[in-house]
Structure 1
Amino acid sequence: MQTARERFARIADSYDRGAAAYAQMGEASGRDWFAEPQRRLRELLPPGARVLDIGCGPGLEMADLRELDLDPVGLDVSRGQLQIARKRLPSAALIRGTALTLPFRAGTFDGVWASASLLHLAREDAARGLAEIRRVLVDDGAFYCSIQRGSGEGWTRGDGVGAEVWYTFFGEEEWRGLLAAAGFSIRWFLASEEGTLQKGASGWINALAVAE
């Protein structure tokens, strides 16, 4: 049985090897889908709020958050993705790491953005990852996440990566329960079948929550 460290090492290798292709896919897909959750997140935060982007990839959504007068900090397990993000945002704070051990003090961030990144946590690690996110958020801090809906988990070919990546799919009530147990109050919850899905997933789950 793989440890979380071993899983993330393999995930990082896959995203490193597919970094350029993944960035190109993101650029070609457009930004319209992210407009509503970004707007909703922004409404809960003051101008200049510090926001952690977990799984920032090539920095596309960090750039979006900057345009909304937020101050994003990028975190990703892939060095290749961070190198591309650095070229896109030369002055940005970019850090290598995972959601399981966030290298920040408690209450560092006003907000957290985790778009299609927490689905790389194994089911057994999901509660730990959400607890870490709550730890680094201020009280009443805002947290947006998107994951894929389903019940399975395992290695499958990653979207736009060209190599296998670990995915975990969660049920709607399962994800609501995990958020509540971690100390979050849900403000917006949307289940959708739009967008690209991995094999075995039946849709997307989007949630915006506030740290209690």
Structure 2
Amino acid sequence: MTDSDTVDTYQSVAEEYRHQNRDRSVVEHLVERFLTALEDVTDERPARVANVGCGPGWESATFAAAGHDVVAVDLTPAFLRLAWEEAPDADVARMDMWTLGLANDRFDGLWVCASFIHVPREDAPETLAEFHRVLRGGGVLLFSVQVGTGERVGGPYDGDTRRFTLYRPDELRELIETVGFEVQSLAVDDERWVRLVARA
């Protein structure tokens, strides 16, 4: 379950966050990889994609522009408003990734980029099981978390009380595989982020 202090921080800095992180070239290679993986799943039909922890909706807009049916999910109301503006062709829904209000076996792909880091470690297995539940067989999970051990609190914003859960690559692989995913690739970018692609 996402910590309420984290949601409160994002709610108060949503516009600033959008401005500071608007350059999406840092994830462009991941977006291309995800879109390519979706083609293998869908046989050229539009994919059903959930952007879990969508933030201001940048990637939701990209996936919708590529012709896919997109649901942008976040727990922060200010982000959902921005996502609605950024990605008007996507559905927008407020929910916690720990208990997704989405149907079983419904989605071809889940994009979970830099959002799972806010899930407390004790809730990680159940949250990952939710991801597996909503993905159809063979569906694609693209996943990124920060490298490290333990947790940290805070960041660059005034009054920043966000909580971050950090993972070692081997720890993340074991968690993902335990709930039934098959890890296809796992890499560490810039010694800061673990990037993982898996299939349900």
TM-score under structure 2 length normalisation: 0.91
Contact 1:19–1:161 (CA<8 Å) still a contact in 2?
A: no
* Displacement of 1:20: 0.5
Q: Residue 40 of structure 1 aligns to which amino acid in structure 2?
A: R
CA distance change for structure 1 residues 134 and 66 in 2, over 3 Å: closer, same or farther? same
* Displacement of 1:171: 0.6
Q: 1:35 aligns with which of 23, 28, 32?
A: 28
Match of 2:125? 127
Over residues 55-112 of structure 1, what are the superposed CA-to-partner deviations in whole Å (9 max), with x where a residue is unaligned? 1011011112223332221000100111111122233211111110000111111100
Q: Residue 5 of structure 2 aligns to which amino acid in structure 1?
A: R
Over residues 6-52 of structure 1, what are the superposed CA-to-partner deviations in whole Å (9 max), with x where a residue is unaligned? x532221111101100111121xx22222222222222223410110
Contact 1:112–1:133 (CA<8 Å) still a contact in 2?
A: yes
* Aligned residues between the structures: 195
Contact 1:22–1:161 (CA<8 Å) still a contact in 2?
A: no
TM-score under structure 1 length normalisation: 0.86
CA distance in 2, matches of 1:161, 1:92: 32
CA distance in 2, matches of 1:146, 1:26: 16
Q: Residue 38 of structure 1 aligns to which amino acid in structure 2?
A: V
Identity percentage of aligned residues:
31
Answering whether residue 5 of structure 2 is matched by residue 13 of structure 1, we say no
List 4+ stretches of structure 1 deviating above 6 A. none
Q: Residue 206 of structure 1 aligns to which amino acid in structure 2?
A: R
Contact 1:73–1:92 (CA<8 Å) still a contact in 2?
A: yes
Match of 1:24? 19
Contact 1:26–1:60 (CA<8 Å) still a contact in 2?
A: no
Q: Residue 176 of structure 1 aligns to which amino acid in structure 2?
A: R
CA distance change for structure 1 residues 34 and 83 in 2, over 3 Å: closer, same or farther? same
* Higher mean displacement: 68-77 or 93-102: 68-77
CA distance in 1, matches of 2:19, 2:71: 22
Contact 2:64–2:89 (CA<8 Å) still a contact in 1?
A: no
Any residues of structure 2 matched to 1:1-212 within 5 Å, and which? Answer: 4=1, 8-27=3-22, 30-45=23-38, 46=42, 47-157=45-155, 163-193=160-190, 203-211=192-200
Alpha-carbon RMSD across the aligned residues, in angstroms, is: 1.6
